[in-house]
């Protein structure tokens, strides 16, 4: 399994400059966000992705497998402890005032 990071960049997250990548392609059963703008999860049966507010304040998650998204602190949309993304789903998350918010989503995918 692997994590492929592309396009190195610097971002300001929580007032600090951090080295990160624009896109991470993740094929792991567990992954912590690390400041990237986009995370694509694929090539595993299912994965748990933790939204890390100390390294990330905005991320788009593209699921090409089942992905359980959990926040490190707070809740998602002030209501959910976790969000399950099915194959093909794409969701944009933003951290603000102690919670993670869904800014946009392409909705549920059904086969």
Is 21:41 a contact under the CB 8 Å cutoff?
no
Number of domains in the chain: 1
% of the chain at pLDDT higher than 70: 77
Per-residue pLDDT band for 1 (boundaries 50, 70, 90) equals very low
The answer to the question of residue 10 being in a domain is: yes
The answer to the question of residue 98 being in a domain is: yes
pLDDT score for 35: 87
Q: For the whole model, what pTM was predicted?
A: 0.81
The answer to the question of residue 110 being in a domain is: no
pLDDT (tens digit, 9 = 90+) per residue, 70-91?
A: 999 999 999 999 999 999 999 9
Closest alpha carbon to 61 in 76, 39, 32, 30: 39
Domain range for 84: 3-105
């Amino acid at each position: 399994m692997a994590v492929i990071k592309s396009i190195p960049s610097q971002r300001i997250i929580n007032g600090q400059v951090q080295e990160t990548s624009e896109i991470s392609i993740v094929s792991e059963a567990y992954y912590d966000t690390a400041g990237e703008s986009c995370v694509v999860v694929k090539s595993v049966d299912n994965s748990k992705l933790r939204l890390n507010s100390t390294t990330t304040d905005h991320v788009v998650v593209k699921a090409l497998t089942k992905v359980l998204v959990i926040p490190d602190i707070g809740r998602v949309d002030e209501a959910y402890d976790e969000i399950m993304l099915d194959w093909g789903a794409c969701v944009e998350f933003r951290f603000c005032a102690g919670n993670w918010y869904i800014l946009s989503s392409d909705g549920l995918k059904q086969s």
